């Protein structure tokens, strides 16, 4: 799992290595501020020891930086982060133990849309690992694929911009959705200011228009909030899927979720999805869904798959999409 120190290693050395790897492989090219911050953390014995004192699953850079930002009200630099650990260690620890990395990126809908539009309408959407459910609203957003525009059902919802790389089967219109529901270990509530603030703290500084897009998607979601139920994708999916209307095409999908699930449990989940007779879409890092390993162009490429077969690849934040010939 990216960003997590391996258990069994010397925890202090493993934390330093995790932050260095995060700086060089994840933050580089996306957030100069977090690249520099992660490198500084890796070289700071006090910070590394603090992080190593947390349970292994709570040591991720994303979690620390978002929690610090939440408490400081601004993206942390190394100085304020040191101060925070010295002066507000209990508050920071509490936040890192109770919050999760649940970045909800609505632009991933632009990657899913061409695949969704190939299915018979209307659709019944079930998203696992939905976070706040912003990717359940694929029919409400508008789209701009390098000048090819599609109007969504909510004229005030944001327009998601995605660059097609080569031919992509762009649909004539946004597909109709008859029903939608999400499932998450810890659903975030778009109507809660605290949850929305946490979501905004998970966006890295320097990532262009992501913060504005998130705010606009949240505003759209608040007009008619998507239902996201609390549950584990390993156990809760069949009962949720059973509630979908029988006269709609059931689609189960997930984006950037299964890396948070242990590899042997992913197999269990995939057997469950296959047993539902649903269309199954995934956009995950290469190899996370077995059979979708592909030469990664960079650490930010995801493989788009239908029923476990790769059909394209895309930026993990939905800024570009390439279809498989
Ligand atoms: C990185 S976020 C991605 C959220 C959303 N899919 C997106 O692309 O914007 C991963 C989400 O998966 C959820 N998750 C992780 N493991 C899960 C599980 N076993 N069952 C349900 N949800 C899970 C997390 O709580 C989190 O909200």
Which of the four pLDDT bands, split at 50, 70 and 90, describes residue 272?
very high
- What's the rounded Cα separation, in Å, for the pair 111 and 302? 10
Please report the pLDDT score of residue 273 as a whole number.
97
The whole-angstrom separation of Cα 59 and Cα 97 is: 10
Give the mean pLDDT of 269-292. Answer: 96
| Count of other CB atoms within 10 angstroms of residue 297 | 11
What pLDDT sits at residue 295?
60
Query: pLDDT confidence of 325, banded at 50, 70, 90?
Result: confident
In angstroms and rounded to an integer, the radius of gyration of the C-alpha atoms of the chain is 19
Decide whether any atom of ligand 1 lies within 6 Å of the 21 Cβ. Answer: no
Is the CB of residue 209 less than 8 Å from the CB of residue 151?
no
- Structural contact between residues 133 and 106, judged by C-beta atoms closer than 8 angstroms: no
Question: Which are the contacts of 324, defined by CB distance < 8 A and separation ≥ 6?
Answer: 310, 311, 312, 313
pLDDT in tens, 121-159: 999 999 999 999 999 999 999 999 999 999 999 999 999
Segment 2-45, tens digit of pLDDT: 444 444 569 999 999 999 999 999 899 889 999 999 999 999 99
**Burial tier of 106 (Cβ tally within 10 Å: 0-12, 13-18, 19+):** buried
Ligand 1 centroid, distance to 63 Cα (angstroms): 14
Residue nearest to atom 23 of ligand 1 (CA): 129
**Would the CB of 232 count as within 6 Å of ligand 1?**
yes
Question: How far apart, in whole angstroms, are the C-alpha atoms of residue 170 and residue 96?
Answer: 41
What does the buried/exposed string (b/e) look like for 37-65 if buried means 16 or more CB atoms within 10 Å of the residue's CB? bbbbbbebeebbebbbebebebbbbbbbb
Ligand 1 centroid to 181 CA: how many Å? 14
The pTM of the full predicted model, rounded to 2 decimals, is 0.93
Six token digits for residue 56 = 């292994």
């Amino acid at each position: 799992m990216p960003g997590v120190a391996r258990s069994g290693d010397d925890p202090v050395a493993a934390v330093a290595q995790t932050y260095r790897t995060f700086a060089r492989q994840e933050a580089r090219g996306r957030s100069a501020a977090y690249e520099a911050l992660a490198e500084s953390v890796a070289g700071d014995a006090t910070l590394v020891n603090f992080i190593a004192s947390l349970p292994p699953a709570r040591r991720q850079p994303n979690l620390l930086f978002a929690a610090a930002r939440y408490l400081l009200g601004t993206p942390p630099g190394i100085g304020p982060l040191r101060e925070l650990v010295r002066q507000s260690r209990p508050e920071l620890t509490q936040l890192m133990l109770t919050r999760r990395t649940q970045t909800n990126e609505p632009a991933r809908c632009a990657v899913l849309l061409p695949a969704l539009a190939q299915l018979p309408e209307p659709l019944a959407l079930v998203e696992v690992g939905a976070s706040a459910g912003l990717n359940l609203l694929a029919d409400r957003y508008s789209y701009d694929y390098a000048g090819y525009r599609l109007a969504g059902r909510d004229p005030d919802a944001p327009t998601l911009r995605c660059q097609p790389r080569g031919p992509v089967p762009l649909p004539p219109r946004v597909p109709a959705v008859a029903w939608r529901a999400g499932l998450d270990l810890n659903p975030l509530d778009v109507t809660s200011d605290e949850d929305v603030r946490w979501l905004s703290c998970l966006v890295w500084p320097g990532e262009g228009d992501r913060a504005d897009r998130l705010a606009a998607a949240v505003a759209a979601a608040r007009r008619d909030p998507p239902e996201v139920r609390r549950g584990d994708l390993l156990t809760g999916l069949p009962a949720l899927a059973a509630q979908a209307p029988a006269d709609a095409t059931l689609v189960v999908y997930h984006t950037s979720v299964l890396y948070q699930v242990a590899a042997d449990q992913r197999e269990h989940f995939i057997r469950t999805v296959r047993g539902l007779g649903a269309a199954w879409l995934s956009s995950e890092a290469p190899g996370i869904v077995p059979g979708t390993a592909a030469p990664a162009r960079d650490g930010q490429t995801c493989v788009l798959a239908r029923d476990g077969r790769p059909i394209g690849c895309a930026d993990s934040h939905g800024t570009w999409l390439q279809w498989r010939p």
